[in-house]
């Protein structure tokens, strides 16, 4: 699904791929001490020398003091100077990290996510990758659940599930083998359903069951796939491709996860879908029998109705209609179903 109003997904992918080689200092080596300020531990170098190194460190200390004194905007402004002027240093990753959390506290979710995304893309080896992915997932989930991004940290904006879905997609792209990827796909599907984008929800669920087969979320994904396909079924008079898909996923769920607590829900859904499919076969059989007097075609579809759901009410009805077909084919009934009148001629 194209999201033209959002710069996020394309931009986020660019940040992830295009900026990945920019820097690689480890954040774990940078430690804050309220008494002495930031210091580098573990033998890592700052990436700067001389006056530049002192200037960058002074900015970091100034930003952190503003942060701790309750002046987030001043801190963000100073951290931005660090990332702008000293992007290749060890301080830049920490600056992005602090900017992200300061924005998050101000409920500036969009800018917070972007800061964390840049940090992931530019400094993938800094040692807190999983933490950042988890934070991004949390931001996306909050937006999906209706959280409002605050403009300037003050004015609540409009809700945007589209933005949340784009962020969830970025989480999967960032960390396809993490525990957050299947969670993000499931949340993505939920968001698409809320937006009535059922086909996109099916795509996310399908990716989930095919890519993360060992995830504990797979049973739920199978059941949601069945429900999603079932929601596209328009009734017995329409094409039954979605009905068959729903039946397949309900049956797969019941075979693969017989002990799941949702087994009764799946059985109920399967019953309904099989009924719709059998009723559809009867409707087609009626067309050939009543409108076309095509007994061969009518037999085929009535028999398919019986096969689709044996021993069900539609199957019983199909058997009765088969009997009518055979009677009419044998000449015992007129097209309207009335007995044929026999006359004796002398």
Residues 31 and 104 in one domain: yes
Report the alpha-carbon distance of residue 180 to residue 134 in Å, rounded. 7
Buried b (16+ CB within 10 A) or exposed e, 276-308: bbbbbbbebbeebbeeeeebebbbebbebbbeb
pLDDT of 44: 60
The last residue of one of the domains, among 150, 185, 214, is 214
Residues 61 and 162 in one domain: yes
Tokens representing residue 346 in the block: 């002398």
Integer CA distances (angstroms), 338 to 290, 292, 328, in order: 13, 17, 10
Global pTM value:
0.82
- DSSP letters, 112-181, are HHHHHHHHHHH-TTSS-HHHHHHHHHHHHHHHHTTPPPEETTTEE----HHHHHHHHHHHHHH-TTSTHH
pLDDT of 314: 96
Residues 170 and 221 in one domain: no
Report the alpha-carbon distance of residue 21 to residue 225 in Å, rounded. 39
Residues 202 and 170 in one domain: yes
Residues 220 and 80 in one domain: no
Residues 304 and 243 in one domain: yes
Closest CA to 115 of 132, 140, 137: 132
Residue 79 is assigned to a structural domain of this protein? yes
Using one digit for the tens of pLDDT, what is the confidence trace for 148-202?
999 999 999 999 999 999 999 999 999 999 999 999 999 999 999 999 999 999 9
Residue 113 is assigned to a structural domain of this protein? yes
In total, how many domains does the chain have?
A: 2
Residue 343 is assigned to a structural domain of this protein? no
pLDDT of 5: 42
The last residue of one of the domains, among 183, 214, 245, is 214
Residues 5 and 142 in one domain: yes
Residues 30 and 128 in one domain: yes
Residues 261 and 207 in one domain: no
Q: Which residues are within 8 A (CB) of 141 and not within 5 positions of it... i.e. 6 or more apart? A: 164, 187
Residue 263 is assigned to a structural domain of this protein? yes
Domain CATH for 183:
1.25.40.10
Residues 116 and 88 in one domain: yes
Range of the domain at 93: 1-214
- DSSP letters, 227-264, are HHHHHT---TTS--HHHHHHHHHHHHHHHH-TT-TTHH
Cβ contact 308:278 at 8 Å: yes
Residues 38 and 147 in one domain: yes
The last residue of one of the domains, among 198, 214, 230, is 214
Residues 193 and 226 in one domain: no
Using one digit for the tens of pLDDT, what is the confidence trace for 278-294?
999 999 999 999 999 99
pLDDT along the chain (346 residues), means of 10: 43 48 49 91 68 91 96 98 92 96 98 97 89 98 97 94 97 96 98 96 97 96 97 93 97 97 97 97 96 94 97 96 93 55 37
Residue 340 is assigned to a structural domain of this protein? no
Report the alpha-carbon distance of residue 121 to residue 20 in Å, rounded. 5
pLDDT of 101: 98
Residue 338 is assigned to a structural domain of this protein? no
Cβ contact 282:321 at 8 Å: yes
C-beta neighbour count of 168 within 10 angstroms: 30
Residue 342 is assigned to a structural domain of this protein? no
pLDDT of 301: 97
Report the alpha-carbon distance of residue 110 to residue 2 in Å, rounded. 19
DSSP state of 332: S
Residue 346 is assigned to a structural domain of this protein? no
């Amino acid at each position: 699904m194209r999201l033209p109003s959002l710069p996020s997904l394309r931009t986020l992918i660019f940040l992830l791929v295009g900026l990945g080689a920019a820097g690689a200092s480890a954040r774990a080596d940078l430690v804050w001490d309220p008494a002495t300020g930031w210091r580098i531990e573990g033998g890592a170098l700052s990436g700067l020398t001389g006056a530049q190194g002192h200037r960058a460190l002074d900015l970091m200390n100034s930003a952190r003091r503003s942060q701790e004194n309750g002046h987030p905007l001043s801190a963000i402004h100073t951290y931005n100077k660090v990332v702008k002027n000293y992007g290749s240093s060890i301080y830049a990753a920490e600056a992005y990290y602090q900017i992200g959390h300061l924005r998050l506290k101000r409920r500036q979710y969009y800018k917070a996510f972007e800061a964390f995304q840049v940090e992931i893309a530019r400094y993938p080896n800094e040692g807190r990758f999983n933490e950042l992915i988890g934070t991004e997932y949390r931001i996306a989930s909050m937006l999906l659940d209706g959280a409002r991004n605050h403009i300037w940290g003050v004015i609540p904006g409009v809700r945007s599930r589209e933005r949340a879905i784009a962020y969830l997609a970025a989480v999967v792209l960032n960390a396809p083998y993490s525990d957050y990827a299947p969670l993000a796909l499931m949340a993505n599907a939920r968001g698409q359903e809320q937006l009535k984008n059922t086909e996109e929800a099916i795509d996310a669920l399908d990716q989930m069951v095919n890519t993360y087969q060992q995830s504990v979320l797979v049973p739920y994904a199978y059941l949601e796939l069945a429900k999603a396909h079932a929601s596209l079924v328009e009734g017995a008079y329409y094409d039954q491709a979605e009905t068959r898909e729903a039946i397949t996923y309900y049956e797969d769920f019941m075979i693969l996860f017989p002990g799941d607590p949702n087994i009764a829900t799946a059985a109920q859904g399967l019953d309904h879908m099989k009924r719709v499919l059998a009723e559809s076969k009867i409707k087609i059989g009626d067309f050939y029998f009543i409108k076309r007097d095509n007994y061969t075609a009518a037999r085929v579809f009535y028999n398919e109705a019986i096969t689709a759901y044996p021993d069900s009410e539609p199957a019983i009805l199909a058997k009765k209609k088969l009997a009518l077909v055979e009677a009419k084919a044998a000449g015992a009934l007129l097209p309207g179903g009335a007995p044929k009148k026999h006359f004796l001629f002398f």
